[in-house]
Chain A
Amino acid sequence: MSAPATTVAPNRVVQQQASAWELAQAIQNGQTTSLELVEDAYERIATMDGTIGAFLSLTKEKAIETASQVDADAKAGKPLKLLAGVPIALKDNMNMTGTKTTCASKILKGYVSPYNATVVEKLVANGLPVVGKTNLDEFAMGSSNENSAYGLVKNPVDIERVPGGSSGGSAAAVAAGMVSLSLGSDTGGSIRQPASLCGLVGVKPTYGSVSRFGLVAFASSLDQIGPFARTVTDAAALYQVIAGHDERDATSRADATPTLDIAALAAGGEDLKGLRVGVLQELDGISGDSKKALQPETIEAFHKGLDTLKALGATLTTVSLPSTQYSVPIYYILATAEASSNLGRYDGVRYGHRADAANLHPMYRATRAEGFGPEVKRRILLGTFCLSAGYYDAFYGKAQQARRLMTREFAETFAKVDVLVCPTSPCTAFKFGEKSSDPLAMYLSDIATIPANIAGVPAISVPCGVDALGLPIGLQITGPHLSEAQLFHVARAFEAATASRA
């Protein structure tokens, strides 16, 4: 079932593993059990995670409970649900009853979740054992996982490099082969950029299609939970498990439940005849600015990817969305403004860290000073500034107008093309410390991923080659609201075509 081992570079820490889809079938057919897979996962975590640092805590008791139920059902000959029995990892900004939820922040040290996030309920109801909770940039703010209060996560492809962020632990756990599935959250690229840097498939679903109930809020108008996997089929199956309307999330859409044909996706073999692909001019690697913004090998791999889409029967046109040139400024106003409000709840009163002080206000100030790390403080200060009297209109008001404009440009574009493509990340995995001293350089990591969050549309990153050092490059495919079925179809055809060429 596993692929033959390839030449292993000295900095590479990867174990080959079967896909989640194959594992689920093996459980149903009695070739393996969920408990065996859970034990395997913990063995690999024990061997590898000392080096990688993907997990912040393990949830063994709960994983065994879920796995035992699946095995009992399988033994009784009951038909199992989608992905039942396949171990999964959870980003540590999602609540799971009785487990620690830290958001990789000192301010939540010792916090225990009193309830389950809706996605956790769905995973458990479908029989996916949650093996543990993964490291992240503090409160999901970052693009390298270097902002965690609990240590670095190393990229399994090259452990001297970052896995991307903010869902770095979820990406690394899957890339290393410790698990075949994980969940992350994506506010400006926090699933797709690490997926790109670790050679995985990562999905930012349509805003409102996956419930955020129980996800610790960062920027509520942008946050979405989504899957990491090694194959498009696995990512699609996991999306099918977690998506759907939830009355406990006020932004959850009534029409969010997908009806994907996972078996057909797994079978593959389809072409893309008749598909209209728009190539985003602002990131096409040809026009002046985009040529400077992208690593040359990324441009080369992207253009090869375009040839693959063409060979599959798609027609390519270049389309321009001028407002996307301003994605980074729009994002760093809106996301920080929302964060400054959302993070107001960490006041040392109801949970988490509390500093000693004789009076209430000094207690608030000292608690937050001691509990938050530098990037979180930076963003709270910037967001507070953007919302403050005298500056609100010029910053927050202007960014809201720009958001409307970009949303309109996306709607107009999707009247002309079915999907939009560009590279997911401007560069491949960088070394620790390379960008961490310059916040502006780090912020540019999300230049290609932010627009989908701003417009609320779904986007997927799928591997599309490697650079000279063997570091993965990702292709981002974006579609209109609730077009996930089409995105998975396109990504699957692309994946099959690139795998057969390699």
Chain B
Amino acid sequence: MTQSTATIPVTPELIDHIANLSRLALSDDEKAKMLDELPRILGMVAQLSELDTSSITSDVGWVSGLPADASMPLRPDTEGQFGKRSILDSNPPKPEDGYFAVPQILEV
């Protein structure tokens, strides 16, 4: 089911839904701001629907700035050392015995 770009109702529920998908806690002020800004930004990007792209029929899954005939050889799939271990160990906010400690995942 595809929504037309011109008729998207930007509701508080939509903002909550996107914020949840984004794993972002928004304050009430931020939500109010997004309610004001998102319709304007979507209005700008929705101008794209005016552009006739009917001549593009091939699969457009992932498109990059590389021409189709560019050669991008892959490296051999071998094991290797990544980065400086002492720094890697010092970066996590809660290191524990060489692991990353995380808060509880399941509610018990």
Residues on A close to B: CB < 8 A?
A: 97-98, 111-115, 207-208, 220-222, 245, 247-248, 250-255, 323, 326, 328-330, 332-333, 340, 344, 347-354, 357-366, 368-369, 372, 374, 377-378, 380-382, 384-386, 388, 390-391, 393-395, 397-405, 407, 439-440, 443, 453-457, 481
Cα A250 to Cα B83 with chains together (Å): 18
Q: Are B72 and A380 in contact (CB under 8 A)?
A: no
> Which applies to chain B's interface (DSSP): helix, strand, loop or mixed?
loop
Cα A332 to Cα B66 with chains together (Å): 20
Answer yes or no: B11 CB below 8 A from chain A CBs. no
CB distance from B98 to the nearest CB of A (A): 13
Per a CB cutoff under 8 Å, which of A351, A382, A384, A388 touches B92? A351
Answer yes or no: B38 CB below 8 A from chain A CBs. yes
Knowing A253-B71, A403-B63, say if A381 contacts B56 (CB, 8 Å).
Answer: no
Give the interface residue-count category, chain B.
35 or more
Tell me which residues across on chain B come within 8 A of A361, comparing CB atoms: 23
Q: Are A221 and B67 in contact (CB under 8 A)?
A: no
Residues on B close to A: CB < 8 A?
A: 1-5, 8, 15, 17-19, 21-27, 30, 34, 37-38, 40-42, 44-51, 53, 55-56, 58, 60-67, 70-75, 82-85, 87-88, 90-94, 100, 102-105, 107
Tell me which residues across on chain B come within 8 A of A340, comparing CB atoms: 22
**A-B CB pair tally, cutoff 8 Å:** 205
13 contacts between A and B (CB under 8 A): A250-B72, A251-B64, A253-B71, A330-B48, A351-B93, A359-B103, A381-B24, A394-B2, A398-B5, A400-B61, A455-B65, A456-B65, A456-B67
Q: Are A405 and B55 in contact (CB under 8 A)?
A: yes
Q: Are A381 and B65 in contact (CB under 8 A)?
A: no
Tell me which residues across on chain B come within 8 A of A439, comparing CB atoms: 37, 41
Tell me which residues across on chain A come within 8 A of B72, comparing CB atoms: 208, 250-254
> Which applies to chain A's interface (DSSP): helix, strand, loop or mixed?
helix
Q: Are B37 and A378 in contact (CB under 8 A)?
A: yes
Residue from A254, A347, A384 having most chain B Cβ neighbours under 10 A: A384
Q: Are B84 and A328 in contact (CB under 8 A)?
A: no
Q: Are A350 and B100 in contact (CB under 8 A)?
A: yes
CB distance from B4 to the nearest CB of A (A): 7
Q: Are B65 and A457 in contact (CB under 8 A)?
A: yes
Tell me which residues across on chain B come within 8 A of A248, comparing CB atoms: 75
Q: Are A365 and B38 in contact (CB under 8 A)?
A: no
Residue of B nearest to A223 (CB): B65
Per a CB cutoff under 8 Å, which of A254, A374, A400, A407 touches B71? A254
